[in-house]
């Protein structure tokens, strides 16, 4: 149970780091809203 939680946190951090790198590369904060909506949509599905 704890191992699953830790792996989920690590995955979330990895995704957050990737999104941050993309935001820095493109320099467009509107992408953040798009990614958040996409993440919410995939989580709901």
pLDDT tens string 7-25: 999 999 999 999 888 777 7
Question: Which of the two residues, 27 and 3, has the higher pLDDT score?
Answer: 3
**pTM given for the model:** 0.49
Tell me 1's DSSP state. Answer: -
Task: Write down the pLDDT at residue 43.
Answer: 65
CB 15 within 8 A of CB 32: no
Angle at 37 between CA 28 and CA 42, to 5 degrees: 130
């Amino acid at each position: 149970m704890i191992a699953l939680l830790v792996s989920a946190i690590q995955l979330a951090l990895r995704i957050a780091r990737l999104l941050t790198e993309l935001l820095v590369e493109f320099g467009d904060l509107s992408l953040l809203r798009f990614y958040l909506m996409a993440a919410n949509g995939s989580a709901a599905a």
